Structure 1
Amino acid sequence: MSGSSWHFDHHSEHPARAHDRALQVGWQQSQDRCPRVRVRDHTCMCLRPMYELCTAGGLWFMRRYTGKDLEIMVESPWMRAGAAHTLWMRILTGQAR
């Protein structure tokens, strides 16, 4: 790998286009509940919206970024790991938005 340019050639997963009857996630304004959040997975930054799968304080949630510079961020309700992984897969497959 050559210096700092390697990440520009790498793309993350692109979520599928939302289905007509996609589940509407209860997106809400982000609240600083925990001092540290760990991002476990994310979709590609080249598409809007961009999503992150996050964990903090023993719970999991998704973040959704929109806007030209990804400056608008909302998050899903916080949940247990199993429910979060199910919702994450639904987002990636276009079954949830």
Structure 2
Amino acid sequence: MTECGEIPDYHGPHTQPLKPGHTKLNWYEPSNRVQRVRVVLHTCQCRHTVYELCSAAGQGSIRRTDHEKGTVHETAWALTATARSTFHRILQGEAW
């Protein structure tokens, strides 16, 4: 239980190790397609690579930030349900 005004510490889930036969996703340079992007879900910041499920204008994308290399990439924008499914596949080690 947190005290009034205190925000609990939330790290986000960790990705599982890649499974045999995982799907290789296409990653692109960020497109700046929209002015504002909402991060709906994200993985834990303790890893070198952080994944974020992003949403804007009824569509979604996955942003991948590699803090070790200093790079940011994203998947193609798609229907929100498709992006959410892809994010969960990444979490389960079924896609990279």
TM bracket, shorter-chain basis: 0.7 to 0.9
Distance between the aligned counterparts of 2:90 and 2:37, measured in 1?
20
Q: What residue in structure 1 maps to residue 66 of structure 2?
A: 66
Q: What residue in structure 2 maps to residue 41 of structure 1?
A: 41
Residue 86 of structure 1, CA deviation: 1.1
**What value does the CA root-mean-square deviation take over the aligned residues?**
2.0
Residue 48 of structure 1, CA deviation: 2.3
Aligned length: 93
Q: What residue in structure 2 maps to residue 87 of structure 1?
A: 86
Q: Deviations over 1:28-86 (max 9, x none)?
A: 10011111000000000111211000011221000001132x73100001100221111
Q: 1:32 corresponds to which letter in structure 2?
A: N
* Structure 2 residue 24 is the aligned partner of structure 1 residue 24: yes
Task: Please give the secondary structure, in 1, of the residue aligned with 2:55.
Answer: strand
What is the TM-score normalised by the length of structure 1? 0.84
What is the TM-score normalised by the length of structure 2? 0.85
Distance between the aligned counterparts of 2:16 and 2:92, measured in 1?
5
List alignment gaps of at least 5 residues for structure 1: none
Moved over 6 A (4+): none
